[in-house]
Structures are given as structure tokens and as C-alpha cells.
Amino acid sequence: GESVGLHLPTLSVQEGDNSIINCAYSNSASDYFIWYKQESGKGPQFIIDIRSNMDKRQGQRVTVLLNKTVKHLSLQIAATQPGDSAVYFCAEGNSGGYQKVTFGTGTKLQVIP
């Protein structure tokens, strides 16, 4: 079946460095992509999203890049902080009233103080 996947299961970065988390998706019909952060014992927390009519979107310290040609999504975190340590999931869905959102496998980000 179609799915969303990640290249790296674990990423360790030094505090203050930039982090890049990558994701590959295969459902070409998806037009909405989301990054979630999940800390231990909590539910997924929305970070940033992007629609298929854009290729870049910036938030506070985070940037999402979308490359529809190769079906690739990335999350960039600037000046990574210890509080950024968590599991990050990319997810794909569809614009509309309700969404069938499918999650990728997740990347654990470890920030080294």
C-alpha cells in the first residue's frame, strides 16, 4: 500500500547546531503534509504544515521543504535546543473537511548538550 516513510530512525545533534529530518512519501494524491513532534508520554504536537502548492514554509526556528518531483519532505530545525529532543513524525493527508492523515515511521532526535 502507499505509505509515508523516513530515512533515519535516530538523529543525534549537538546543541546549537541545525537539524534536518527527512521523509519520503509515495502517495502522489496527497496534497497536505504535516510535521508532528511527540514527547514521551504525550500526544503528537503540531509543528508546521505545508500544502502541495508550496515548496517551502517557515515558522519559528523551523522550516519545511517539499519536493514533489521526488516525493520528499524535510524538517529543518535551527539552533537545536535540548527541548527539541523528541520523536518527529511526518504525515500526509488531504485538504478538506476531514482528513485521512497517515503517519510516517518517525525519527528520534537526540540533542547533545
Partner 1 sequence: DTEVTQTPKHLVMGMTNKKSLKCEQHMGHRAMYWYKQKAKKPPELMFVYSYEKLSINESVPSRFSPECPNSSLLNLHLHALQPEDSALYLCASSHNNSPLHFGNGTRLTVT
State the residues that interact with partner 1 by CB under 8 A. 32, 34, 36, 41-46, 49, 89, 95-106
Smaller CB separation from partner 1, 97 or 113:
97
Angstrom distances, CA of residue 47 to CA of 27, 50, 69, 85 = 22, 11, 24, 13
Angstrom distances, CA of residue 53 to CA of 34, 38, 75, 88 = 14, 27, 17, 23
Beta bridge partners of 67: 72
CB of 38 to partner 1, least distance (A): 9
CB of 16 to partner 1, least distance (A): 28
Tell me, rounded to whole angstroms, the distance of Cα 107 from its chain centroid.
Answer: 9
CB of 87 to partner 1, least distance (A): 8
Give the SS3 label for residue 102. strand
Smaller CB separation from partner 1, 31 or 76:
31
Smaller CB separation from partner 1, 83 or 96:
96
Smaller CB separation from partner 1, 22 or 99:
99
CB of 39 to partner 1, least distance (A): 10
Cα–Cα dist 26/49, whole Å: 18
